[in-house]
Amino acid sequence: MGFEEATPIQEGTIRLGMEGKDIIGQAQTGTGKTTAFGIPLIEKIDTRDGNVQGLVIAPTRELAIQVSEELYNLGKDKNVRILSVFGGQEIGRQIRALKNRPQIIVGTPGRLLDHINRRTLKLENVNTLVLDEADEMLNMGFIEDIQSIMSNVPDTRQTLLFSATMPDPIRRIAEKFMKTPEIVKIKSKEMTVENIEQFFVKSVEREKFDILSRLLNVQQPELAIVFGRTKRRVDELAHALNLRGYLAEGIHGDLSQAKRMSVLKQFKANKIDILVATDVAARGLDISGVSHVYNFDIPQDPESYVHRIGRTGRAGKKGVAVTFVTPREMGYLSIVERTTKKKMEALVPPTADEAVIGLQRVAMEQLETMTEKNNLGSYRELATEMLDKHDAVDLVAAALKTLTKDPEDAPVQITEERPLPSRGGGGYKGKGGGRSSGGGYKGKGGSGRPSSGGYKGRRESSSSSRPSGGGRPGRTRRHES
Ligand SMILES: Nc1ncnc2c1ncn2[C@@H]1O[C@H](COP(=O)(O)OP(=O)(O)OP(=O)(O)O)[C@@H](O)[C@H]1O
Ligand SMILES: [Mg+2]
């Protein structure tokens, strides 16, 4: 696969995994955890045996597909048969595929249970169980399903749990399902990746969108993901970004699976520049070229923050993350910072003029690329004709002005989202809105929250807190709107 050396988590877990140990593996986003569990899993498969021997559970359909693809790459020389099963795909097709005797199944909890109940999936020969994004899988929304699935897997199995985050209460739950697990935690100063520059923008709700579009113009991401809190938010943001001339599409749980897959495919193929998403795209997705992540709404819990911004800065690459915070939500910012052990820098929103400069730069690059392509044919004759009549600088300036459309003219409609409930001194609750209620864990809210007031002004007044261009200029294409 072209990897030259093992990443720390791979070095720390592959040998243990091959020895058959239960493992809780924790390492930062984008550091190769899939391969860390993938190699021991693949190595253990007996290719003469047509039973399901390995089961990987992932929280989202897109992640299940991605993990199955990576396992396929790892196992293809050995001819290991791998199948992904997930909701939203025709079940008949999956049932037929299950008859082809796959040896590893990668699936989402609901659909796995469906197959277990229909007796189309038998797990009595499974000797390796993997929970990717383990803390999410053992959190309120999934825990009951996971327990039911586990009850169908022999107790003698090896259990491998991986995630970039593992809050203590969840780790304690995890250990109940494991046999004296080895805890392999790759030490780092921060929970987030050092290569990601992290900023926050303090803004009232109604100004967020204009600031976002200005930031996009100034920072010029190669590919960007914008996270919103709700499905409606995602729909409105994607629509509004299109009105402003960006190539953006939304992804969330209410869309058909066909649509979800096509949006992701277009994004990976760089046919769209901005993916607007709910937390459905927060975990595990590995998409090369994502240079910027914008949290249009600050996430409810710090783990979600870690995973969202971890969609950039993967495998040693650089990234930029910008989180919008309304004044009432500043408490959440401190909680995130305390959990990640990393302070975000305050970002002064670009002015409309600065944003236009960004657009002018894009126009300039468009003209330059066009010139370099050198296939201007009859346009050259027209140009010569025009140069007889006008000053050359005036003409180029006019061409630039024509190409630079000030997008803030386009009116957009974004419904105001209620701010997160204001934080008292207490901890935050783990994910709300799960399928089961109650339970949950109390996160690291803690008491004695330090006031974030002190450093803010200083940083805000420093112009160096602005990301220097942020990415390769001129990447975010704008379509004719
Ligand atoms: N040893 C390696 N050397 C170089 N690149 C690697 C290596 N192992 C994995 N990668 C690549 O690094 C990228 C990130 O890997 P992966 O998706 O497994 O990260 P992860 O740790 O699971 O992240 P997340 O916490 O976001 O799920 C992938 O593109 C993968 O192919
Ligand atoms: Mg992963």
Q: What is the pLDDT of residues 226-240, one digit of tens each?
A: 999 999 999 999 999
Instruction: For residue 468, tell me if it sits in a domain.
Output: no
Residue 406's pLDDT is 64
Instruction: For residue 209, tell me if it sits in a domain.
Output: yes
Please state, in angstroms and rounded to a whole number, the distance separating the CA atoms of residues 430 and 303: 9
CATH number of the domain where residue 50 is located: 3.40.50.300
Q: How far is the CA of 48 from the centre of ligand 2 (A)?
A: 29
Q: How far is the CA of 29 from the centre of ligand 1 (A)?
A: 8
Residue 424's pLDDT is 47
Instruction: For residue 390, tell me if it sits in a domain.
Output: no
Residues 110 and 204 in one domain: no
Q: Is 322 helix (H, G, I), strand (E, B) or coil?
A: strand
Residues 141 and 251 in one domain: no
Residues 199 and 314 in one domain: yes
Instruction: For residue 7, give the ligand nearest its CA.
Output: 1
Q: How far is the CA of 478 from the centre of ligand 1 (A)?
A: 31
Domain tally, the chain: 2
Please state, in angstroms and rounded to a whole number, the distance separating the CA atoms of residues 256 and 232: 15
Residues 287 and 221 in one domain: yes
Best mutation site among 62, 186, 286 for ligand 1 pocket (most ligand atoms within 8 Å of CB): 286
Instruction: For residue 221, tell me if it sits in a domain.
Output: yes
Instruction: Judge if the beta carbon of residue 29 lies within 6 A of ligand 1.
Output: yes
Residues 196 and 302 in one domain: yes
The residue out of 141, 164, 185 marking a domain boundary is 185
Residue 307 CA: nearest ligand 1 atom is: 26
Best mutation site among 1, 14, 23, 33 for ligand 1 pocket (most ligand atoms within 8 Å of CB): 33
Instruction: For residue 363, tell me if it sits in a domain.
Output: no
Instruction: For residue 118, tell me if it sits in a domain.
Output: yes
Instruction: For residue 317, give the ligand nearest its CA.
Output: 1
Residues, Cβ < 5 Å to ion ligand 2: 33, 284
Instruction: For residue 282, give the ligand nearest its CA.
Output: 1
Instruction: For residue 70, give the ligand nearest its CA.
Output: 1
The answer to whether 46 and 71 have CB atoms below 8 angstroms apart is no
Residues 71 and 196 in one domain: no
Protein residue with its CA nearest to atom 15 in ligand 1 = 32
Instruction: Judge if the beta carbon of residue 293 lies within 6 A of ligand 1.
Output: no
Q: How far is the CA of 168 from the centre of ligand 1 (A)?
A: 24
The answer to whether 441 and 170 have CB atoms below 8 angstroms apart is yes
Instruction: For residue 480, tell me if it sits in a domain.
Output: no
Residue 408's pLDDT is 67
Instruction: Judge if the beta carbon of residue 284 lies within 6 A of ligand 1.
Output: yes
Residues 178 and 200 in one domain: no
Q: What is the DSSP string of 183-248?
A: EEE---SSSS-TTEEEEEEE--GGGHHHHHHHHHHHH--SEEEEE-SSHHHHHHHHHHHHHTTB-E
Residues 140 and 260 in one domain: no
DSSP state of 442: B
Give the dihedral of Cα atoms 48, 50, 52, 56; nearest 10 deg: 60
Instruction: For residue 403, tell me if it sits in a domain.
Output: no
Q: Looking at this predicted complex, what is its ipTM?
A: 0.99
Residues 262 and 168 in one domain: no
The answer to whether 420 and 298 have CB atoms below 8 angstroms apart is yes
Phi, psi of 94 (to 5 degrees): -70, -40
DSSP state of 422: P
Strands (E), 18-164: 23-26, 54-57, 82-85, 104-107, 128-132, 158-163
Residues 324 and 176 in one domain: no
Q: Is 277 helix (H, G, I), strand (E, B) or coil?
A: strand
The residue out of 128, 155, 185 marking a domain boundary is 185
pTM exceeds cut of 0.90: no
Amino acid at residue number 59:
P
The residue out of 149, 170, 185 marking a domain boundary is 185
Residue 477's pLDDT is 58
Mean pLDDT by 10 residues, the chain (481 residues): 95 98 98 98 97 98 98 97 97 97 98 98 98 97 97 98 97 96 95 97 95 94 97 97 94 97 97 98 97 97 97 97 97 96 96 85 88 88 94 92 74 83 52 36 34 28 34 45 32
Residue 288 CA: nearest ligand 1 atom is: 29
Instruction: Judge if the beta carbon of residue 60 lies within 6 A of ligand 1.
Output: no
Residue of 154, 162, 96 lying closest to 125 (CA atoms): 154
Best mutation site among 28, 35, 70, 312 for ligand 1 pocket (most ligand atoms within 8 Å of CB): 35
Instruction: For residue 56, give the ligand nearest its CA.
Output: 2
Residues 207 and 332 in one domain: yes
Residue 338's pLDDT is 96
Residue 357's pLDDT is 86
- Dihedral (CA of 150, 29, 269, 414) sign: positive
Q: What is the DSSP string of 371-419?
A: HHHT--THHHHHHHHHHHHS-HHHHHHHHHHHH---GGGS----PPPPP
Cα within 13 Å of Cα(184), Cβ side:
24
Residue 63 CA: nearest ligand 1 atom is: 27
Question: Which helix (H) or strand (E) element contains residue 276?
Answer: strand 274-277
Scan for tokens 């509004």, then name that residue.
Answer: 240
State the helix-helix crossing angle for 33-44 and 61-75, rounded to 10 degrees: 60
Q: How far is the CA of 262 from the centre of ligand 1 (A)?
A: 23
Kindly report the number of other CB atoms within 10 A of residue 368's CB atom: 11
Residue 360's pLDDT is 87
Residues 170 and 248 in one domain: no
130: β partners: 56, 160
Q: How far is the CA of 32 from the centre of ligand 1 (A)?
A: 3
Give the range of the structural domain holding residue 213, as residue numbers without chain letter: 190-352
